[in-house]
Amino acid sequence: MVSAKFLSFDEFENTLVFAQDRFHKRLDTLEKLVAANRFYLFGYGGKGRTLAWQIASGSDIKVTVYDSSPKARDLAAKDGFQTLSYLDELRQTEYGVILGACQAQLEQAALVQNNHVFYQEAAYLFDVAHLANKARDFSIWISCNMEAIYEIYISIHPESRETLTNILRFRLSLDPHDLIPSKNKNTDMWFDVPEHHSQRNYATFLDVGAYDGDTLLQAQHRLSVNRGIAVEANISLFDSIKNVARFYENGIQIMPHAAWSHKCRLHFSEVRGGMISVSEADDGELDASPIDEGVHERVDLIKMDIEGAEIRALEGCRRILKTGPDLAIAAYHRPDDLVQIPDFLENAGYVRTNFDFHVAHYSDCFDDTIIFFLKKQ
């Protein structure tokens, strides 16, 4: 793969400012659609459903839902939304059509043709929640932290610089076309970068935020790991993880708590129109503990995706980090993840002389930006 041209700071800044200007020019069109007081939503999956609720609860905008699935339309009706049964009605409407699929917005746009509004554009217009932050925070943060972001651009592997730039352009323009040159397949998430760039063989895989074991299963198939460690607080998912363990020669250890910097209990709550708040509380519903206290074997690769608590979890596995496992970490939950997580890891020993730093992106929205640290030979 040929690396893209290295950008000076001025070139880097101008590239991002141009992306931001494109959105500002489009904003007039979008605000005219808002003034009509009605939107259609194309797609009532997890993302679309949450967005519809956030718009309806935070404004007087009327939302009408179209989904090709009768079950999804029935769910939308049950949730109190009017529904459409035929795509042609979207094509003919004079109202804005929000594209609700974070994995297929460009395909949706081609079907709708007129008055389409990309998912992140809608999230910006209504300033809805993106986990612990508001959607607009992601664009604003870039504008206020160009120098810090450029330091990441300098330190990243040359083959990832264009990808990082495109992710940042997208967070400013909110147009998923900016991701086309570098977006990877969602089915490749977590594993394509280690497969193509890793210099080592993996035996033990530590999955922090293991959910139902889906990533553990892929790790075994794609990387031939023979030992798994699952950090997962939701006990209802343990049977599913245990089913995956049969593919592991040396089994899977389940750590039944949330990953945190120290032992405590955590309370999760929704505030400000759907934003997630995590706080320590004696009566919290989840046990939390440092990973270092539960893992006493060598780890070769850590995957971490825990809804914005990544740095807290990394603080709780400093001993393991000293052994230098490769890392694959979600960097999209908070606006500053792309800077704060690499800065933390550099202080923990993940320096450029010993590790290559990569970034990849796997969706048409803010979600699924992953950073990788792979040990050099």
* Domain residue limits, the chain: 37-126, 189-330
Q: How many CB atoms lie within 10 A of CB 87?
A: 15
Quote the distance between the C-alpha of residue 79 and its chain's center: 26
CATH 3.40.30.10 fits 189-330, yes or no: no
Q: Which CATH class is domain 37-126?
A: alpha beta
Show Cβ contacts of residue 299 under 8 Å, excluding neighbours closer than 6 positions: 204, 205, 206, 229, 320, 323, 325
pLDDT of the residue at 211? 94
- The answer to whether 160 and 3 have CB atoms below 8 angstroms apart is no
pLDDT of the residue at 273? 53
pLDDT of the residue at 279? 80
- Per-residue pLDDT of the chain in tens (377 residues, 90 and over written 9): 556 789 999 999 999 999 999 999 999 999 999 999 999 999 999 899 999 999 998 899 999 999 999 999 999 999 999 999 999 988 888 999 999 988 889 999 999 988 999 999 999 999 998 877 899 999 999 999 999 999 999 999 999 999 999 999 999 999 999 999 999 999 999 999 999 999 899 999 999 999 999 999 999 999 999 999 999 999 999 999 999 999 999 999 999 999 999 999 998 776 545 556 778 888 888 899 999 999 999 999 999 998 889 999 999 999 999 999 999 999 999 999 999 999 999 999 999 999 999 999 999 999 999 999 999 97
**Amino acid residing at 211:** Y
Q: What pTM does this model have?
A: 0.94
- pLDDT, one tens digit per residue, over 308-332 is 899 999 999 999 999 999 999 999 9
**Whole-angstrom Cα distance, residue 348 to residue 169?**
29
pLDDT of the residue at 185? 95
On the question of a common fold for 37-126 and 189-330, the answer reads yes
Rounded to whole angstroms, what are the CA distances from 167 to 23, 24, 45, 321? 15, 18, 24, 27
pLDDT of the residue at 270? 64
Show Cβ contacts of residue 22 under 8 Å, excluding neighbours closer than 6 positions: 173, 175
| Bridge partners for 286 per DSSP | 266
**Whole-angstrom Cα distance, residue 138 to residue 339?**
12
pLDDT of the residue at 44? 96
| Bridge partners for 359 per DSSP | 371
pLDDT of the residue at 275? 58
- pLDDT, one tens digit per residue, over 16-39 is 999 999 999 999 999 999 999 999
Rounded to whole angstroms, what are the CA distances from 136 to 5, 16, 119? 30, 16, 13
Q: Write down the H helix ranges in the chain.
A: 9-35, 46-58, 70-78, 88-92, 105-112, 119-125, 135-144, 146-155, 161-173, 192-197, 214-223, 238-245, 310-315, 318-321, 337-347
pLDDT of the residue at 182? 93
